[in-house]
Amino acid sequence: MADIKGIIVPIVTPMNEDESINLDELRVQIDRQIDAGIDGIFPFGTNGEAYILSGDEKRQILEVTIDQVAGRVPVYAGTGCISTKETIEQTKMAERLGADVVSIITPSFAKASQEELYRHYCAVAAAVDLPVLLYNIPARTGNALEPATVARLAKDVPNIVGAKDSSGDWDNLQAYIAVKDARPDFITLSGNDSLILDALIKGGAGAIAGCANVYPHVMASIYDLFVEGKLDEAREVQNSIASFRAVFRYGNPNTVVKTAVAELGYPVGKCRAPFNWLPDEGIEELRGVLAENKQKGMC
């Protein structure tokens, strides 16, 4: 099984002006991330705009990602869809192409009970031999995966190996981490970039960090410094991304992240419409933050 730990980047999906996928630039971004010390590449996650990509586009992206990574780090594939049927199809596709791990977001739009979520994840996990990560981001999907359901899945399904929590709720994240008390090999990853170090201190394994698209070396160093026992330095690095995260108030965080990568000079394009607009004051503040952080050697 892949060694699931460290800082994993939910890599942006580069796009051309006509919103087609720029696979050549995807290869560039993959190398950029790995060269900076990132511990895993996660195509078509939330920052990769999975919600707006077709099944065929996801297949192309995953094929190129696996080819370009070439075994240097694990490849995580986000295969969650609204229906159990399509989620199984996408997860089997990822297994067939050679992904190391799948991350499965909760179904969205229709309200699901905890029993329905439990049955959904059991069915998907049973369809493949891959390690499965649960993915909780209720602000986006409208369905929260409660810690009790995570614990139940961890107990009942061997290849459900961990969970990513992007709720931003510290108590919820700690409750996920506590699942390892009953199943010691269960892995919890922070999906909130401001809670990475706190999660590591509590027993988390790392993070799937959108900000790594902009600051790969910085984000990777939070984990590396923690492992080295340099907690004060790790805390300084953790705090250094606060000014960038403050720009999120101007729009969708995915839009801010992808715009920032483009502002650094990489032709990743915009997010797909309609999720691609930031006000002028947001762009101005973003450019100021990037310039300030560049002077600090962050990017």
* Residue 284 counted as domain residue: no
284, containing H or E segment: helix 280-295
Is 76 a known active-site residue?
Answer: no
Average pLDDT, the chain: 97
How much is the pLDDT for 1?
75
Is 164 a known active-site residue?
Answer: yes
* Residue 82 counted as domain residue: yes
How many structural domains are present in the chain? Answer: 1
Residue pair 264/290 in contact by the 8 Å Cβ criterion: yes
* Residue 15 counted as domain residue: yes
* Residue 59 counted as domain residue: yes
CB burial of residue 267 (10 Å; 0-12, 13-18, 19+) = middle
How much is the pLDDT for 53?
96
The alpha carbon of 113 is separated from its chain's Cα centroid by a whole number of angstroms, namely 24
Amino acid (1-letter code) at residue 280: D
Domain holding 117: CATH number? 3.20.20.70
Strand partners, 163: 134, 188
Q: What is the pLDDT of residues 231-259, one digit of tens each?
A: 999 999 999 999 999 999 999 999 999 99
* Residue 144 counted as domain residue: yes
* Residue 211 counted as domain residue: yes
* Residue 276 counted as domain residue: no
Per-residue confidence band for 297, with pLDDT thresholds at 50, 70 and 90? confident
Q: Residue 191: which of 35, 25, 8, 11 has the closest Cα?
A: 8
* Residue 280 counted as domain residue: no
Choice among 5, 118, 121, 164 that is catalytic? 164
Overall average pLDDT of the 118-128 stretch: 98
Choice among 135, 176, 215, 223 that is catalytic? 135
Domain containing 128: what range?
6-241
Q: Is the pLDDT of residue 282 over 90?
A: yes
